[in-house]
A and B are shown apart, each in its own frame.
Chain A
């Protein structure tokens, strides 16, 4: 393949403006759709991952929840068996960096003249570190609060906002009929899926167990592992300890659940994943249709140029060189369409990000993907016309003139 050949192919491309226009258009449509759908799916997943990572739940962490269940939902076992001692036993495991037990529930919270049911969690001071959280005002629960069962409360960002003022440190709110002093406000974290993180209040774990809920069991605990711990081994070890301590043997079901970050991600991306796989399937179908169009137009173009091709063959071109000619021709179209499709998908995402919470995702990976799909389609569907061209009988030259 020399310069002369390339020039010839480019000239042929330009001469076939209409064909090239439609082939490119069809390819660009399909590729834009595929790129956009793929990138948006990835971006939605990344958003959840980021939120989780921001909560120190990205990796090397897991969550133990009280109460066993086959699926998420109503527990089918006792849920009052998870105790602080269980968590202390887990904390002793060598791969465990820290544990943050919690309890809580929906209770009546009153501030000034308004009252509503809000989620109140009882936690330890380590909660902040375990969840990578910060107070923006005041302070968090201290060891002293834990020891003295102090009636103090830290507000989630949205709760403070709902109370109408951030200047409320030192003021009192009523939780289940008792006054608690507001000592701090947490920074904003957003939400995971439908779960609002900032609509919660935090009180000392001891206060919540003995004074508010009057229960000695926990709702769960977050366990942070040392970096690089094998998650599946950790889950197995923790499960073993808890089953032993709860006297569960044989096939007796767990009365707790261990939730790993993957499970949370999977649960929150389940719908969007099915959706994007459906949409991607459609994108691929349209790519196949584009392929059919390519095959159709290329075949027509070969028929039209039969004379020239016959002349080439008569002048000594081999079958392979004719096929190669059309393959390179297809490659030109593929690269161009792949590139345009990728650029357009960035544009579409930019537009979409204005009206939806999805963020555009720029990646060279999708660019390569776009080129790859484009190339595969173009080459695969040009093979037939190319072979057809290579089989043209040079004898037609004599007849047709």
Chain B
């Protein structure tokens, strides 16, 4: 019974199958692209958050010389030689600091089994991995003894390991860094490009002591990474660090020869930029839905025109105009909704394929689904209003013209 009722109300939609298919197709493409764009936006947001992970909100970076954050990148304007290993030790006094790792960054030529590559060498201590939240996929972290004891051991970045050892085992092997032999004790999991825009897979970590003495022969460090107990204490710690270092370097604040960089400084710009990007892309993608809805309106108008007699008949056999209006409004919504549903599935499908392909994290968030569905229904309604209105205004007298 219900079925017959449904068929008598909406059978007209299915009469011209090709037309129905093409109308739905328009909406489907629109919704699929809208959804995909929204998902990309969400995904980009998650990616930024993941980047923040390796430079979390509880992190501070002290770099020697003058550095500025511009366009979300820490740019070192010039390097000075006044930041020492002892400065890092002195900072341990601050009680809110949980971990601290000085670092020295240089580049070197690495040799292994006839393969030569040039990569970035980061001298760090055993707390570095914890501060940066880097994972180890093979082997182990540095031991404190290895740092203190100037040991020649190395942890390879994911890409470096691939280049030197392929898929083989790296742990326990010996590599030459600037002709000095180092034993590989570990390999990092893939990390990607971090907040400072450095490819963290293309690096080798070694003990800071070894880097400064045996490898680069310097008595200063590039900077210090500091992790604090909670993001709330960052401003206090920043002030304390500033005071301690100014005192140790015996300089006035205006001649400060170091710079403290917070996560905030780096991410504010980035988040704003990606926000703008996402908003623009999402708003323009509504265009597709608008155009798709135009198609529905056009087809519905056509259909109302073709079905004048059916409408006239319905009026003659006792339908009132409101029922006719409602029927055609529902038809538009039905087409949009069906198109939207298929589009949503296609969009999810496309996201599952393309997100990993473009190295974006795979997120199927509720927000894009809800937004797309709502917009589809709204546009379905809008696209149906005029045709439905036209339908309800049809004069049943046309039936008697003998046509």
Contacts and interface: CB of A to CB of B under 8 A. Distances in A.
Q: Do A and B come from one complex?
A: yes
Interface of A: 18-19, 22-23, 25-26, 29-30, 33, 37, 68, 70-77, 79, 105-106, 108, 115, 117, 193-195, 219, 250-253, 271, 274-275, 278-279, 282-283, 285-286, 288-290, 292-293, 295-297, 299-300, 304
Contacts of A22: 294-295, 297-298, 301
A209 to B, nearest CB: 14
17 contacts: A22-B298, A33-B287, A70-B199, A71-B197, A71-B198, A72-B197, A73-B76, A79-B78, A108-B255, A271-B273, A275-B277, A279-B280, A286-B287, A286-B291, A296-B295, A296-B299, A297-B298
A318 B24 CA distance: 33
Contacts of B33: 282, 285
B22 A289 contact: no
B70 interface: yes
The 9 closest A-B pairs by CB, nearest first: A22-B298, A293-B295, A296-B22, A76-B107, A286-B291, A286-B288, A74-B76, A292-B26, A289-B291
A18 B301 contact: yes
Contact of A289 (B63, B196, B292): B292
A74 B222 contact: yes
Contacts of B73: 72-73
A79 B79 contact: yes
Contacts of A297: 298-299, 302
B302 A300 contact: yes
Given A275-B281, A289-B30, A70 B290 contact: no
Nearest to A291: B26
Interface string B202-226: 1000000000000000000010000
Nearest to A276: B280
Given A251-B116, A275-B281, A285 B29 contact: yes
Given A33-B284, A105-B78, A108-B255, 18 more contacts: A18-B305, A25-B294, A30-B287, A30-B291, A70-B120, A75-B79, A76-B107, A117-B66, A253-B107, A278-B37, A286-B290, A286-B291, A289-B288, A292-B25, A292-B29, A293-B294, A296-B22, A296-B298
B82 interface: no
Interface in B267-308: 273, 277, 280-281, 284-285, 287-288, 290-292, 294-295, 297-299, 301-302, 305-306
A289 B77 contact: no
Interface in B54-109: 63, 66-67, 70-71, 73-79, 105-107, 109
A300 to B, nearest CB: 5
A73 B75 CA distance: 5
Interface in B369-400: none
A384 to B, nearest CB: 9
Nearest to A18: B301
B141 interface: no
B18 interface: yes
A72 B67 CA distance: 13
A299 B18 contact: yes
A279 B198 contact: no
B401 interface: no
Interface string B236-275: 0000000000000000001100000000000000000100
A76 B291 contact: no
Contact of B287 (A29, A106, A292): A29
Contacts of A70: 107, 120, 198-199, 202
B19 interface: yes
B202 A77 contact: no
A251 B294 contact: no
B169 to A, nearest CB: 25
A213 B281 CA distance: 47
A375 B297 CA distance: 23
A300 B297 CA distance: 14
Contacts of A79: 78-79
Contacts of B254: 108, 115, 117
A271 B269 CA distance: 13
Contacts of B77: 105-106
B23 interface: yes
A250 B109 contact: yes
B266 to A, nearest CB: 12
Nearest to A193: B71
B302 A105 contact: no
A26 B118 contact: no
Contacts of B118: 251-253
B291 A300 contact: no
A108 B74 CA distance: 21
Given A18-B301, A286-B288, A73 B109 contact: no
B305 to A, nearest CB: 8
A271 B277 contact: yes
B79 A26 contact: no
Nearest to B196: A73
A108 to B, nearest CB: 5
A388 to B, nearest CB: 9
B276 to A, nearest CB: 9
A23 B255 CA distance: 68
Given A73-B196, A106-B66, A289 B301 contact: no
A397 to B, nearest CB: 18
A296 B23 contact: yes
B22 A295 contact: yes
Given A74-B76, A295-B22, A282 B287 contact: yes
Interface centre among A74, A271, A274 (most CB of B within 10 A): A74
A302 B288 CA distance: 26
Contacts of A252: 109, 118
A278 B34 CA distance: 12
Contact of A29 (B29, B109, B290): B290
A291 B63 CA distance: 57
Contacts of B37: 278, 282
Nearest to A304: B306
A292 B22 contact: yes
A251 to B, nearest CB: 5
Nearest to A21: B298
A399 B283 CA distance: 52
B265 to A, nearest CB: 14
A282 B22 contact: no
Contacts of B30: 285-286, 289
A193 B273 CA distance: 13
Contacts of A289: 26, 29-30, 288, 291-292, 295
A68 B22 contact: no
Nearest to A213: B78
A337 B47 CA distance: 40
